[in-house]
Structure 1
């Protein structure tokens, strides 16, 4: 971790393992999924210590505080030392994950069995024959 040399935002996001490639990090920044200190940023924006970065990854939205600077991608344990997730972000993320889990559990996607399919086919044929599309 170097604390004196400036690090680009896209490189920092890549080194902190938020995105697999720098190209994905650049696309996320350009797409408005990353906010630096509350504002949209460009990939070449220099990251400073204690800066707040809000980013979206799939369904999750994270807010992190920069604790270290690095432009080299290391292990996950080293990458985890580069940032700290805010408590409010962690609580909101866990609440959203629980909500998604509940919604998915209540969704019932049972396919009709053979007998039910035959009844549906018979109903469709009857409707077509009588002209009631």
Structure 2
């Protein structure tokens, strides 16, 4: 565990608290503009400070974290959670999870490709389901 006066890079911190699986993925996310501090992109070499709030875009998932402590080495998940607070809005968390519970539409084998009319009906079904979930 790092002392508060030590310098810790953002890519190393995000890897240590288990936001990213590897440090190189954390570095790439920073370079691609997926990690932001107060709406501004952060370079991988940026020094993390306690009390800062970061927004991290990872695929379709968006997280907001508040730094509560500095962790230099990767630890188990239970320990890593103690070094940040997750401030992700609840509606975004459920929105991300609801994508996985979308209705699965199946067609009988051998019926061929859907016609234009079939495709419109499928789209209407998906849109109705999506509006109900919001």
Query: Which residue of structure 2 aligns with residue 66 of structure 1?
Result: 67
Q: TM-score, normalised by structure 1?
A: 0.75
Give the superposition deviation at 1:66: 0.2
Q: How many Å apart are 1:55 and its aligned residue?
A: 0.2
Please, what TM-score do these two structures have when normalized by structure 2? 0.75
Which residue matches 2:94? 95
Q: How many residues align structurally?
A: 112
5+ residue gaps, structure 2: 114-134
Cα 1:99–1:80 change in 2 (3 A) is same
CA shift in 2, pair 1:100/1:50, >3 Å:
same
Question: What CA deviation, in whole Å up to 9, does each residue of 1:26-65 have, x standing for no partner?
Answer: 0001111110232101100000001001001222101010
**Runs of 4+ in structure 1 over 3 Å off:** none
Q: What displacement does 1:85 show? A: 1.0
Secondary structure at 1:61 match in 2: strand
- The Cα RMSD (Å) is 1.8
Q: Name the CA distance, whole Å, in 2 between partners of 1:11 and 1:40.
A: 16
Could you tell me which runs of 5 or more consecutive residues in structure 1 were left unpaired when the two chains were aligned: 121-133
Compared CA separation, residues 112 and 58, structure 1 to 2 (3 A): same
Counterpart check, 1:81 vs 2:82: yes
